[in-house]
Amino acid sequence: MEKILMKGNEAFAEAAMRGGAGYYFGYPITPQNEIPEYMSHELEKTGGAFIQAESELAAVNMAYGAAAAGGRAFISSSSPGLALMQEGISFMCSVEVPVVILNVSRGGPGVGGIQPGQADYMQATRGGGNGDYHVPVYAPSTIQEAIDMICSAYDVADRYRNPVMVLADGMMGQMMEPVVLPPARKASTYEEIRRDKPWSLTGKGDREERNVLKSLRLQPDVLEEHVMHLFEKYDRMEKELVKYETFGNMDSEIIFVAFGTMSRLVAESIEILAERGISAGMIRPITLWPFPVKPFEELSPSTKVVISAELSMGQLIADVKASVNGRVPVRLINRVGGIVPSSIEIADRAQKHLEELA
């Protein structure tokens, strides 16, 4: 397969199209503007449709409409835009329609900055909107991994009839790496939509029953039953979707936990520590929700400290602490505001944490 050098954001857009996204709705926001720009001239070539939405609020609801109609919809934004989309994400979980959502995140709160951040971890993994719900959250660390994730995210979304999120950051959106693009899937025909998504809104046609997609359930017992139904689904996701990898020596005194961009820096910090004679390993959650608990249950007895390395004031660390469950001290190494720490800074701070615990 031919390798091509692609900018993250353009690769994300191309991946979504090849994964079968026929419909993209977006609103400009840095650092992901290349995605709507790319979609605006490429999507129609595949027979799909692009709308520059009037807001992220409209974009997410357009995606809901397209998905409700049986289409494969893709939306992307960056942190403040994702905040606006929460209404729609909660709604789509309630109604059970599949879409793929990409957050090329930046520093916050508020408008914040345009440099990379990971402070949307809680928003993504806890459900940033109202009510009890979850979306599977995938955190790629390379552009190639993001491409593969975005493509397979459609299968996950369709299988569970639930939105799926890919959480990248501004650094990944702007950098370039060689990638291999998967073959493009064909968009579903009207007949295929009616066959494969019998619940979708396609017009009643010769169907015996009309289809209704609803969120409102005024009777408490009916709503409770629906929430229970959703959570049976989330339970299945927790069993079926968890993904992580480990890096370095997992019998080390220092075990890092990092995702996305930070995991790449930590990988280099581990090499720097090795040069100083300090062994370290890393758990890299690939799904942030469901969170991989297993590697924490399997922590080596020689591990003295687990370090959550993140571009936030300590969000990932909540899941890390819950998973470590008090067996080992947990420490935080972080920078915020869009500042990415150097691999040397991470190594120095990790070494200090280890020394303090000695």
Partner 1 sequence: MKTRMFFAGSGGQGILLMGQLIAKAAMYEGKEVTFMPSYGPEMRGGTANCTVIVSDSTINCPLINEADVLIVMNQPSLIKFEGMVAAGGKVIINTSLIEARPGRDDIECVEVDANGKAVELGNEKTANMIMLGAIVASTGVVGFDSIDHVLQTVFTGDKARFLPLNEKAVRVYA
Partner 2 sequence: MKQVFAVTRGMLPADTSYCPGCTHGVAHRLIMECLDEMGELENTIAVSPIGCSIVAHQYMNIDMCESAHGRAPAVASGIRRVHPDKTVFTYQGDGDLASIGMGEIIHAAHRGEKFTTFFINNAIYGMTGGQMAPTTLLGQKATTAIYGRQKEKAGSPLRICEMLSTVEGAVYVERVALNSPANVRKAKKAIRNALEVQKRGLGFSFVEMLSSCPTNWGKTPYDALQWIQDAMIPYYPLGVFRKPEDM
Rule CB under 8 A: is residue 58 a binding residue for partner 2? yes
| Torsion, Cα of 185, 91, 197, 12 (10° steps) | 0
**66: contact with partner 2 by CB under 8 A:** yes
Residues written for the chain: 358
Q: Which residues pair with 310 in a beta bridge?
A: 334
Question: From the list partner 1, partner 2, none, which binds 147 (C-beta under 5 to 8 Å, kind-based)?
Answer: none
Q: Single out the segment in contact with partner 2 by CB under 8 A; choices: 27-35, 87-95, 304-312, 343-351.
A: 87-95
The reply on whether position 55 binds partner 2 by CB under 8 A is yes
* Positive/negative CA dihedral, 226, 232, 234, 240: negative
Q: Is 94 exposed, middle or buried (0-12, 13-18, 19+ CB in 10 A)?
A: buried
Q: Name which of residues 219 to 248 contact partner 1 (CB under 8 A).
A: none
Residue in 168, 338, 349, 350 binding partner 1, rule: CB under 8 A? 338
CB 158 within 8 A of CB 188: no
Which residue number, 22 or 140, has a Cβ lying nearer to partner 2?
A: 22
Contact yes or no for 60/75 (Cβ under 8 A): yes
108-132 burial code (b ≥16 CB/10 A, e <16): beeebbbbbbbbbbebbbebbbeee
Closest residue by Cα to residue 124 from 82, 160, 156: 82
Tell me the closest approach of the beta carbon of residue 12 to partner 2, in angstroms. 20
Q: Which does 71 bind (CB under 5 to 8 A by kind): partner 1, partner 2, none?
A: partner 2
- In the numeric block, the tokens 């701070």 are attached to 349
- Member of 15, 35, 68, 119 binding partner 2 (CB under 8 A): 68
Rule CB under 8 A: is residue 67 a binding residue for partner 2? yes
Asked whether position 305 contacts partner 2 by CB under 8 A, the answer is: no
Helix (H) or strand (E) holding 91: helix 79-95
* Residue with Cβ nearer partner 1 (113 or 163): 113
Say whether residue 27 binds partner 2 (CB under 8 A). no
Tokens representing residue 210 in the block = 């009309």
**How far is 269 from 86, CA to CA, in rounded Å?**
35
Regarding 187 and contact with partner 1 (CB under 8 A), the answer is no
Binding partner of residue 62 among partner 2, partner 1, none, CB under 5 to 8 Å per kind? partner 2
Q: How far apart are CA 99 and CA 60, in angstroms?
A: 9
Which residues in 141-170 contact partner 1 (CB under 8 A)?
Answer: 170
Q: Provide the angle, in degrees to the nearest 10, between the axes of the packed helices 56-68 and 79-95.
A: 30
Q: Is 88 among the residues that bind partner 2 (CB under 8 A)?
A: yes
Residue of 205, 277, 301, 326 that binds partner 2 (CB under 8 A): 205
227 near partner 2, rule: CB under 8 A? no
Chain residues binding partner 1 by CB under 8 A are 3, 5, 31, 113-115, 170-171, 174-178, 264-265, 267-268, 271, 338, 340, 342-344
> Which parts of this chain interact with partner 2 (CB under 8 A)?
22-23, 25, 48-49, 51, 53-55, 57-59, 61-71, 73, 87-88, 91, 95, 190, 193, 201-206, 210-216
